[in-house]
Amino acid sequence: MRKPIVAIVGRPNVGKSTLFNKIAKKRVSIVDDLPGVTRDRLYWDAEWLGHEFTMIDTGGIEVDSNDFIMASVRRQAALAIEEADVILFVVDSKTGITTADEEVAALLRHANKPVILAVNKVDSIKDSEAVYEFYGLGLGEPLAVSAANLLNLGDLLDAVVAEFPPEQEAEEQDDRIKIAVIGRPNVGKSSLVNGLLGQERVIVSDIPGTTRDAIDTVLEKDGVSYVLIDTAGMRKKAKIEDESIERYSVVRSLSAVERADVVLMVLDAVDRVTEQDKKIAGYAHEAGKSLIIVVNKWDLVEKDSKTTLEYTQEIRNELAFMQYAPVLFISALTKQRVHRVLELVNYVAEQRSMRIATNVLNQVISDAVSINPTPSDKGKRLKIYYATQSGVNPPTIVFFVNDPEVMHFSYLRFLENKLRESFGFEGSPLRLVVRGKK
Ligand code: GDP
Ligand code: GDP
């Protein structure tokens, strides 16, 4: 299930980043330490009283120069209106209503999305009078908060969570393979999607996606059903891409990735791997999604016997944290190997839902330990008592040990390599959990 998305909007200096940082939960996990996972990003996981959600940092699209404040605030609001389930509009009690606030309010009033109005910097009771003028924005009751002093943030989050769309249980039962096709503008996503839909014996139908304007396409081939997520912009070709829209498309890609099982990351064979590609791949990795790297426009590359190997090597270096992702070289234009895409999707979907019997798993672990003894720390040697697979999608393996502190990161990497040698789990990240046994 897709987590609800909350966007914080407002002009510079009202305290958006401060608020964002108080709410966002820094995800501490093993995978976070992998080299190559880009930390600078636009979204964070957050949680309030058991409700999980994703926060978009629209502040990331702010421009510094004063001339651009209006434009960037407008862009933020547009992004929030398009992508978010709930919009958190922040204003500043110390300055009162400004023209920029009014402008954002006007956009939000027509947005048809729930808006929570937070009046920030109400640092003490004596400041609370300042709140009343904000009724004038026409967005309902303003909530007085102080991000810096953590005042009333609980009430604010209650109000946000109350606006989340009801959870749909039905989606849990869905056994269709959900695919997100991501990549920068012009790498050939539309061409690939059209190539997939245009194959022989493919049956196609549309279903509305979760965000406005999104269309998911259902396709069926050889008895397997797939959902291509958010294909609206890909199937009808009417796009103007500039830099800001490219930033939008990152957020859009992230919410597609969130809903997917398998992510097709399309690269342009000529441009190769860019920073943005790494960012989105890193997100797919952390979110536990399977990934296939599709190198498109292969027809444009002059090839000799070593070209494929060199390309693969380069991608492996650039995306060092996801050695498990298969790489496929295609041309959406000439249709070369396009038919291989769904075959590979089937394969990685099967790999990520594979269950390993506990005795087999423990045999592999004990063989691994006999080649490379467990590490020790301050005179204490790690003992692995037992391992078991606790889940699939992505495969999750729990190690019960004498003391989790003694488990080194590098040793976990070694165990992961051994597990992959034996079982593959191709295309999927692995979750390795270390528990102390009492
Ligand atoms: P942004 O530009 O909207 O992201 O705003 P920032 O989070 O960077 O905050 C702008 C300034 O307001 C900083 O100097 C913060 O320390 C200050 N600030 C943020 N929240 C509060 C608050 O609750 N009370 C007061 N007095 N100052 C705050
Ligand atoms: P999108 O923005 O990622 O959806 O990219 P498009 O599918 O719109 O493709 C961008 C441009 O690249 C178009 O002019 C396509 O015709 C072209 N293109 C797409 N795939 C290929 C390919 O495999 N080979 C070549 N030579 N051009 C391609």
Banded model confidence at residue 411, pLDDT cuts 50, 70, 90 = very high
Q: What is the pTM of this model?
A: 0.66
Assess contact for 341 and 332: CB atoms under 8 A: no
Q: Residue 286: pLDDT above 70?
A: yes
Rounded distance, CA 132 to CA 120, Å? 13
What's residue 53's pLDDT?
87
**Residue bearing the bigger pLDDT, 401 or 32:** 401
Query: Which residue has a Cα nearest atom 6 of ligand 1?
Result: 15
Plot region of 326 (φ>0 → left; ψ -120 to 50 → alpha; else → beta): beta
Report the complex ipTM. 0.62
Domain boundaries 5-163, corresponding CATH code: 3.40.50.300
Q: Which CATH class is domain 358-436?
A: alpha beta
Q: Is position 11 annotated in a ligand binding site?
A: yes
Q: Is position 338 annotated in a ligand binding site?
A: no
Ligand nearest to the CA of 19: 1
Q: Is position 299 annotated in a ligand binding site?
A: yes
Query: Which residue has a Cα nearest atom 11 of ligand 2?
Result: 186
Exposure b/e, 144-181, CB count within 10 A at least 16 = b: bbbbeeebbbeebbebbbebbeeeeeeeeeeeebbbbb
Look at residues 32, 6, 28, 29 and name the one whose alpha carbon lies nearest to residue 19: 6
Strands (E), 76-148: 86-92, 115-120, 143-144
Q: Residue 62: pLDDT above 90?
A: no
User: Which two structure tokens, joined as six digits, stand for 166?
Assistant: 């009801």
Q: How far is the CA of 187 from the centre of ligand 2 (A)?
A: 6
**Residue bearing the bigger pLDDT, 332 or 250:** 332
Q: Residues of CATH 3.40.50.300 domain(s) within the chain?
A: 5-163, 177-352
Look at residues 71, 340, 4 and name the one whose alpha carbon lies nearest to residue 192: 340
> pLDDT tens digits, residue range 332-389?
999 999 999 999 999 999 999 999 988 899 999 999 999 999 999 888 999 999 898 9
CA dihedral 278, 281, 282, 286 (to 10 degrees): 180
Residue 183 CA: nearest ligand 2 atom is: 3
CATH 3.40.50.300 holds for 177-352 = yes
User: What is the rounded average pLDDT of the residues 61-78?
Assistant: 63
- If DSSP codes are grouped into helix, strand and coil, which group holds residue 360? helix
Q: Residues of CATH 3.30.300.20 domain(s) within the chain?
A: 358-436
Query: Which residue has a Cα nearest atom 6 of ligand 2?
Result: 188
**Residue bearing the bigger pLDDT, 236 or 260:** 260
